[in-house]
């Protein structure tokens, strides 16, 4: 049921800081989600590769995440 919740949550979201849902593929008992390609990779990988971010970089990424969460929260389908 978790994948269905993810699909429902991503459906219709359109924000620069949220990966868009492209499609879902039913594979027997499993369902896969297909998302747009994130050319920059994941923030976790950036931090793991570079170590600590500067305060300015951390503030920049935190703001992007906060804007995405705010948009998703305000767009939530209950």
Kindly state the tokens that stand for 13: 């979201």
Q: Which helix (H) or strand (E) holds 56?
A: helix 55-74
Kindly state the tokens that stand for 69: 């969460």
Give the span between the Cα atoms of 44 and 77, in whole angstroms.
28
Digitized pLDDT (tens) for each residue of the chain, 78 residues in all: 677 778 877 888 899 999 898 998 988 888 888 889 988 888 899 899 988 899 999 999 999 999 999 999 888 765
Kindly state the tokens that stand for 57: 């970089």
Positive/negative CA dihedral, 21, 24, 29, 30:
negative
Matching residue, tokens 């994948």: 3
């Amino acid at each position: 049921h978790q994948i269905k919740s993810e699909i429902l949550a991503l459906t219709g979201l359109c924000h620069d800081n949220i990966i868009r849902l492209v499609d879902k593929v039913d594979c027997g008992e499993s369902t896969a989600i297909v998302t747009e390609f994130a050319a920059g990779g994941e923030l976790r990988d950036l931090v793991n590769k570079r170590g600590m971010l500067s305060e300015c970089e951390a503030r920049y990424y935190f703001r992007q995440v906060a804007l995405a969460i705010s948009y998703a929260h305000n767009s939530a389908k209950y």
